[in-house]
Amino acid sequence: MRRQKNSFGKIVIFLVLAVVIVGIVFVYFSPQFEKQAPKISTENSLFWNTKDEFAISLYDESGIKSYSAYYVSKNGPVVINSQNLSSKQTNVTFNLANIRLDPNAKSAKIVVETTDRSSWNFFQGNSSKKEFVIDIDKRSPIANVVANSYNIRQGGSAVVVVEVKDENLSDKYITFNNEYRFELLPYKKENFYVAIIAWPVWEEDFNRVNLVAEDKASNKTITKVPLYIKDLKIKNDDIKISTSFIQNVSIPVLQKSEIEVPTNEIDIFLKQNRDLRVNNVGTIRSESVNKMSKEMLNKFDIKPFRRLNGSKTFAGFAERRHYYYNGEKIDEAWHLGMDWASIKHAKITTSNEGKVIFNDYLGIYGNTLILDHGFGVQSLYAHTSKSFVQNSDYIKAGDKIALTGSTGAVFGDHLHFGVLVQGIEVNPLEWMDRNWIKTRITNILDEANYIIKSSGK
């Protein structure tokens, strides 16, 4: 009997231990007893103007059970927001609002506490606490136009010199029609900047050019840049597209650009002339903006660009090309540069010194070079047959850089020459005109230089 009782006792103890172990394992691994504390974060910078929303985000897999936020004032904590949630919410966001800050306060300490719905910690859940020390900034940046070109023509360029100041400055730029952004480059002295801007030829309307400055607290200043506008005479050209062109030019260009070739001939041309063109223009813009020099500028020394030696002009800037196939109009596009041709594989030399920032095959443009000359101005050389330079090479004026060719979507050997302003092709004729450069760019910079120099007195 005693031996049976001992055996029974051992079984009971074993079962109890087994239940305890199973319970411990269940508690340890069950999602109901998860042990991760809730996460508290904000996507805002730790600067606040007290007017805009300042969002606090809470996250926990088991759900947020409750939270509270309070402002630590001179007289003690002041509750901003406090909630007990009746339903499971893994993500909770609330905004700081209605905080009565000291009018002269330069910072605010915000404390956030939250508890999740986990059964861990004896069914009390996991808790988190986080402090945010927020800089208070209610003052908008100073943003003044110092000098700018008198006017701008569709497809053309203008220069703007500005003064922007803010101890918490986060961004500054020029906009055209609130759609195109032009970076401001440091000029002459701290807090002064310059940008050469463009009116894209494909944008018929001119609404407004603005200087925009924003600080880390989202205070923003918008200042109008006063510009008169001038019309551009646009030439229309009708171009007949043949089956031979599609087979011998469009298809190889698409293939070399690693783009699927449609089966229909019209679709093939449209894929090359429309879709690939948009892609190529986007590449030019991004490469130019990302790789242009952003160093402090002191002197403008860009000389007039010269035409390809011994060449004739076969196409000009801002020609509106209308494409026909078998007598039917199938597409249209802007021609964004100058087409010059002389002999086959003619030597291409540079008019200005600069750095090679792009040297690659580029779809409809074929083998293409882009040189950066400073001030956000670049020159583009397309359809070349051979290049004599490498990326990042520094080129002197008069250097031989390439030979003309027929690479890309072209009918024959020639040079497509373009002038870029932060990646947008503008009217090269302006930049080939010594008087235009003097009156529209150099004189404006001289005026700004005098003002900037006087500002230090």
Summarised one tens digit per residue, pLDDT across range 410-451 is 989 999 999 999 999 999 999 999 999 999 999 999 999 999
> Given this model, what pLDDT does residue 13 score?
62
pTM to 2 decimals? 0.86
The residue segments making up the domain with residue 263 are 235-426
Choose among 429, 245, 412: nearest CA to 343. 412
Per-residue model confidence as pLDDT tens digits over 338-373: 999 999 999 999 999 999 999 999 999 999 999 999
Domain-terminating residue out of 136, 155, 172? 136
Choose among 275, 236, 235: nearest CA to 257. 275
> Given this model, what pLDDT does residue 33 score?
75
Q: Are residues 205 and 328 in the same domain?
A: no
Average pLDDT over residues 187-216: 96
Q: Are residues 56 and 160 in the same domain?
A: no
Q: Are residues 246 and 195 in the same domain?
A: no
DSSP code per residue over 23-52: HHHHHHH-GGG--PPPEEE-SS-SEE-SSS
Secondary structure of residue 271 in the 3-state scheme: helix
Contact 149, 442 (CB under 8 A): no
373 within a domain of the structure (yes/no): yes
Give the integer Cα–Cα distance in Å for 386 and 17.
83
- What is the Cβ-side half-sphere exposure of residue 374, based on CA atoms within 13 angstroms? 16
User: Number of folded domains in the chain?
Assistant: 3
Contact 396, 389 (CB under 8 A): no
Per-residue model confidence as pLDDT tens digits over 83-122: 999 889 999 998 887 677 777 788 888 999 999 999 888 7
397 within a domain of the structure (yes/no): yes
Q: Are residues 125 and 148 in the same domain?
A: no
Q: Are residues 317 and 360 in the same domain?
A: yes
Average pLDDT over residues 205-224: 96
- Burial of residue 255, with CB atoms counted within 10 A of its CB: 0-12 exposed, 13-18 middle, 19 or more buried: exposed
Give the integer Cα–Cα distance in Å for 233 and 163.
35
Give the integer Cα–Cα distance in Å for 364 and 273.
8
Percent of the chain scoring above 70 in pLDDT = 92
Q: Are residues 132 and 146 in the same domain?
A: no
Segment (H or E) for 81? strand 76-84
Q: Report the CATH number that the domain containing residue 420 is assigned in CATH.
A: 2.70.70.10
Give the integer Cα–Cα distance in Å for 292 and 423.
9
> Given this model, what pLDDT does residue 23 score?
47
409 within a domain of the structure (yes/no): yes
> Given this model, what pLDDT does residue 359 score?
97
Per-residue model confidence as pLDDT tens digits over 24-46: 444 454 557 788 999 999 888 89
Rg (CA), the chain: 33
Domain-terminating residue out of 82, 110, 136? 136
308 within a domain of the structure (yes/no): yes
Domain-terminating residue out of 69, 102, 136? 136
Q: Report the CATH number that the domain containing residue 115 is assigned in CATH.
A: 2.60.40.1930
Residue 6, pLDDT above cutoff 80: no
Per-residue model confidence as pLDDT tens digits over 390-400: 999 999 999 99
222 within a domain of the structure (yes/no): yes
Q: Are residues 409 and 450 in the same domain?
A: no
- What is the Cβ-side half-sphere exposure of residue 304, based on CA atoms within 13 angstroms? 14
10 within a domain of the structure (yes/no): no
- Burial of residue 444, with CB atoms counted within 10 A of its CB: 0-12 exposed, 13-18 middle, 19 or more buried: buried
For 86, residues 6+ apart whose C-beta sits below 8 A from its C-beta are: none
16 within a domain of the structure (yes/no): no
Give the integer Cα–Cα distance in Å for 239 and 242.
10
Contact 370, 402 (CB under 8 A): no
Q: Report the CATH number that the domain containing residue 175 is assigned in CATH.
A: 2.60.40.10
Q: Are residues 131 and 147 in the same domain?
A: no
Q: Are residues 117 and 262 in the same domain?
A: no
How much is the mean pLDDT over the chain?
A: 91
Strands (E) in 154-227, as ranges, are 157-165, 169-176, 180-183, 185-186, 192-198, 209-215, 220-224
Q: Are residues 130 and 159 in the same domain?
A: no
Contact 116, 62 (CB under 8 A): yes
Q: Are residues 198 and 239 in the same domain?
A: no
Q: Are residues 156 and 131 in the same domain?
A: no
435 within a domain of the structure (yes/no): no
CB atoms within 10 A of CB 92: 18
